Amino acid sequence: MTDFEAAVVAAAGKLGPDGLRRLAASVEAGRPVDGLPPEAGLVLNTAIGSPEAAAAYVRGVAAGYEHRAARVQAELVWTGPYVFDVPVRATAQVLIGLVDKSRQELILTTYSAKPYLPLLAALRNAVDRGVAVWIVVETLHGAGNAMQGEQPAKAFANLHGVELWSWALDRRPESAKMHAKIAVADERILFVTSANLTTSGIGNNIEAGILVHGGNAAARAAEHLRALRRDGHLIRI
């Protein structure tokens, strides 16, 4: 792999298909485009051959990424007893892996939460690499008599840079709960699970979930949660 090819691959992970097409136009014109990350400059500096040929290569990579993103892959994810003749992935492995793969935005939602050290470490690393992390949790008041102990948000209290949100009490039907349990990374990967963000949910209970790559489900989930936040259904804790 040439330096130029390696630079394009590195940029692709940051830019996606649309950004790569903007980068291709930049390569063809021989000048940088505003709003592109530093990886784009490396592509410009290492481009070989004619500008037209280099731009065509970048557009080809964009088309490949777009085609791959359109394929939907779903995997069964499980917490609980392991059965050797049925291949499923573990909730802990999938959740930590999703957090580790996030590069721009990470959204988690849960009903209950307790400190789970591997998750907290992964979230801290995500914040350190510049990922915008926000977590939606239930509150004791919102849960009513269904939840005891400390506030779920306290599980993440020591994670500086993480935003905590909940469903506004005055925007709910009577007795309604914040019960969704999903994780979304960069609008690309969606994990829907029955597991709360607790040691029991992630590692001990029998819980089931689906990990989805490709298609538009991850993007729609992120857009929906952002809209709930924008319209005041979700409020900062």
Exposure string (b/e) for 65-97, b if CB count within 10 Å is 16 or more? beeebeeeeeeebbbeeeeeeeebebbbebbbb
Given a cut of 90, whether residue 235 has pLDDT beyond it is yes
Tens of pLDDT, residue by residue over 114-126, are: 999 999 999 999 9
Instruction: Please state, in angstroms and rounded to a whole number, the distance separating the CA atoms of residues 184 and 100.
Output: 12
Q: Are 135 and 163 in contact (CB under 8 A)?
A: yes
Tens of pLDDT, residue by residue over 88-133, are: 899 999 999 999 999 999 999 999 999 999 999 999 999 999 999 9
Arithmetic mean of pLDDT over the chain: 90
Hey, what's the torsion of the CAs at 194, 200, 203, 205, to 10 degrees?
Answer: -60
What share of the chain in percent tops pLDDT 90? 63
Distances (CA, A) of 45 to 28, 54, 57, 111, 173: 13, 11, 15, 48, 57
Query: What pTM was estimated for this model as a whole?
Result: 0.73
- The pLDDT assigned to 64 comes to 80
Given a cut of 90, whether residue 140 has pLDDT beyond it is yes
- The pLDDT assigned to 160 comes to 95
More confident residue, 127 or 18: 127
CATH superfamily of 71-236: Endonuclease Chain A (3.30.870.10)
What share of the chain in percent tops pLDDT 70? 97
**How, if at all, do strands 132-136 and 105-109 pair?**
parallel
Distances (CA, A) of 188 to 99, 144, 211: 12, 35, 11
Q: Classify 130 in phi/psi space as left (phi over 0), alpha (psi -120 to 50) or beta.
A: left
Q: Where are the chain's structural domains?
A: 3-69, 71-236
